[in-house]
Chain A
Amino acid sequence: MDEPMLGGMAQTVLDRAHPLLRPGNTNCGGCGMSSLFHMMDHAAEDRRLQFVMPASCAAVCGGVFPLSTFGVPALMTTFASGSAVASGAAAVAQLNGEDTRVVCLAGDGGTYDIGVSSLSAAAERNEDVLYICYDNEIYGNTGGQRSSATPAGAITTNLPEGKTQQKKDILSIMAAHRIPYAASISLAHAEDAVRKLRWALDLKGFRFLLVLSPCPTGWKSEPALGMELVRLAVRSGLFPVLEIFDGKRHVINVEPDFSDEALDMYLSLQRRFQKSGVCAADLRPDLDRNWQNLRVLSGRIVPARRGP
């Protein structure tokens, strides 16, 4: 499955009878993580899953004891240990010959920042874990502080003037571990997303998925516009949608149009970018460099840039 599949990803009779994210959960309206769960419903079908979740919005989403929001067993861990705990659970599943997919679901704080050490180690050991980072580019659970996933120009509660540094490129970091599969997922491209989730669920070894996850609360955006924002981020080239096999073969799944119009629209629909006044012209040089690099890695001929 080297190239993106097209079409045919609608709900089937094989889909999970019970949703992974049950009704009545406490996620904010328009939360990208909720959409991710719905896509996982389609992707996981009747596969046996276990969730491991470090401190994050997902842990809050789990609900208050003794109720559980999730349709499968879940284990909440300390902030930095998601990957380590998932390694332990996966090891025992393997020892007992069980076909359980241990899925570690973490936010960007638990992935890019505090959890990066255990994440890197589990990837290096090639543990049989599917790690999914839902990246809302902010410490959302604590009210919206800067993380190393926060993009340049965005304000946070602890950085009222806006971040001046660039976002960390976690996908490249994970690919550098030469894990079997690392990919970015756009929630606005459902077929591509479900295909990647299914592929990652059935692969052995350490798999890493990065999901750009709209956070209306932190992004200061309209909840209903979440999917549109992701679409704009992909279209403009801000969020490259690609997959990396064994840290070597790069495949770009969605071709952006690199339009400044999309980028400016993306920025202007979120109040977090308002104060710094960051605009497409500020971001474009870095995006171009990033994409030149991706073109080289993916072995594709660099197309002429479209747009004005």
Chain B
Amino acid sequence: MSAKLLSANHGAALAATLAGRANRAGRGFCSGVYPITPSTECMEFLCLQEIEKGRVVRTESEHSAMGVCIGAAAAGARTFTVTSSNGLAYMAENCMAAANLRLPVVLAVANRTLGPPWNLWTDHGDALMLRDFGLVQFFCADNQEVFDTILCAFRLAEDPDVMMPVMVCMDGFILSHSVTMTEIPDQAQIDRFLPLTAIPHQLGDTPHTLGQIEVPHQTEAHRQQHHAAMLGVPLVYAAIQDSFEAIFARRPADAVVAYRAEDADTLIVSMGTIGATAERAVDMLRAQGHRVGALRVRLFRPLPVAAIRKWFAGKQRIAVIDRNISLGFGGILWGEVQALADPGTVVQNYLAGLGGGDVRPEHITGMLADLLPRQIAGQPAMVEAV
């Protein structure tokens, strides 16, 4: 174990490199990559690494980058790619193909606003667009978490009970370009943590076709299997956390991360780096005597419904902060979690940091000043954070 100053982009690439090397005794590692701000440095870093039995293919588009991963995973290799924003939108068709083919591709996403008009800054709308595609989705709040989650993502994606792509999101620039100390395990430890990639339906010598035509009842059965595998993810992830802790002597973050939430009557719910800011706001509000806590949803797909419901139980007011907007509806996270609160709980949606606006603790305390006197929830409220 060593500590290095790394950006989340470089951390993600290093995690993928170590995971790739860990499969050198297996069918190897293959990655298709294509540059897009703010995830470019991740693919650049990956392209500079020497990976035994590994190849990084510099493709002509994100669509093909995921295409290469699909071909490589179908041939049994460990696979990784990274993108952002419109790149993810362009890649989307193949993300869905990888998910439906149940290929364990790990996909890092540096979240960025979709354009045009062009905006380079962070917004979760790109990743959430793929909400229903059958990919596991994590949202991270710091660089160490990005590194750890990528490592766990390989183990999770390749777990025989999961066997589907895993997307690991980091807020563009806020994480992707911020350099912090990151603990890096040794290759020997990674080798112990990650078993060799084994994809049961990989192409071999037996004539079988992957992704051929199927009729409605077969699609139903496949969706049902995929859904069941999704629902099993929290349990598998918990076991991976245990194994991670046993090998690396620290525990990767939970699927939902609660902060001073046990005795709180008010909860601030968010995803990504806003979750870290919310913890600071909680401290400020606690100092003022408010019983406030924070809940960060790290695993968004599958949504850990039981865990969220447990934390929502008994709360009087819940602020759901969304760094995204489903136009014509409101915040996507709010749409997902509002039904998990007790009847009578005031669940108010705040849209903050859209297009990368800087959400600071005072914005969140401002939201609470609006929420605390409320007896009923109103429409999703846009909070200007610039």
Contact = CB atoms under 8 A, between A and B. Distances in A.
B206 interface: yes
Interface string A46-75: 001010100000011011111011111111
Interface stretch (A88-96, A195-203, A269-277): A88-96
Nearest to A64: B213
A87 interface: yes
A80 interface: yes
Contacts of B57: 87-88, 91, 125
A78 B30 contact: no
Contacts of B76: 92
A121 interface: yes
A66 B201 CA distance: 12
A59 B204 contact: no
B69 interface: yes
B263 interface: no
A27 interface: no
A120 interface: yes
Contacts of B212: 59, 62-65, 68, 74, 76
Given A95-B28, A121-B64, A81 B213 contact: no
Contacts of B210: 73-76
B208 interface: yes
A76 B209 contact: yes
Contact of A75 (B60, B63, B211): B211
Contact of A78 (B67, B73, B75): B67
Contacts of A83: 64, 67
A63 B212 CA distance: 7
Interface string B58-94: 1111011111111111111101000000000000011
Contacts of B309: none
Contacts of A93: 75
A88 B32 contact: yes
Contact of A73 (B64, B205, B215, B218): B205
B71 A95 contact: no
Given A50-B203, A91-B30, A95-B30, A75 B53 contact: no
B67 A73 contact: no
B28 A64 contact: no
A76 to B, nearest CB: 4
Contacts of A217: none
Where chain B touches its partner, the secondary structure class is mixed
Nearest to B204: A73
B25 to A, nearest CB: 11
A63 B79 CA distance: 28
B63 A80 contact: yes
Nearest to A89: B71
Contacts of B67: 77-78, 81, 83-85, 87-88, 118
A80 B97 CA distance: 12
B97 to A, nearest CB: 5
B214 interface: yes
A71 B68 contact: no
The size bracket of the interface on A is 35 or more
Contacts of B69: 88
B27 interface: yes
Interface residues of B, number: 45
A68 B212 CA distance: 8
B207 A87 contact: no
Contact of B214 (A52, A65, A75, A90): A65
Interface in A106-125: 117-118, 120-121, 124-125
B71 A73 contact: no
A13 B189 CA distance: 52
Contact of A96 (B28, B74, B218): B28
A88 B31 CA distance: 8
A84 B207 CA distance: 22
B63 A73 contact: no
Contacts of B204: 73
Contacts of A60: 213
A118 B209 contact: no
A110 to B, nearest CB: 12
B214 A87 contact: no
Contacts of A87: 32, 57, 59, 64, 67-68, 71
A88 B75 contact: yes
A242 interface: no
A183 interface: no
Nearest to A79: B93
Nearest to A76: B211
Contacts of B68: 84-85, 87-88, 91
13 contacts: A62-B209, A64-B218, A68-B212, A74-B212, A75-B210, A77-B97, A78-B67, A85-B68, A89-B72, A89-B74, A90-B71, A91-B77, A96-B28
The 8 A-B residue pairs whose C-beta atoms are closest, nearest first, are A88-B71, A84-B67, A121-B60, A81-B67, A84-B64, A76-B211, A88-B72, A92-B75
Interface of B: 27-28, 30, 32, 53-55, 57-61, 63-77, 79, 93-94, 97, 203-215, 218
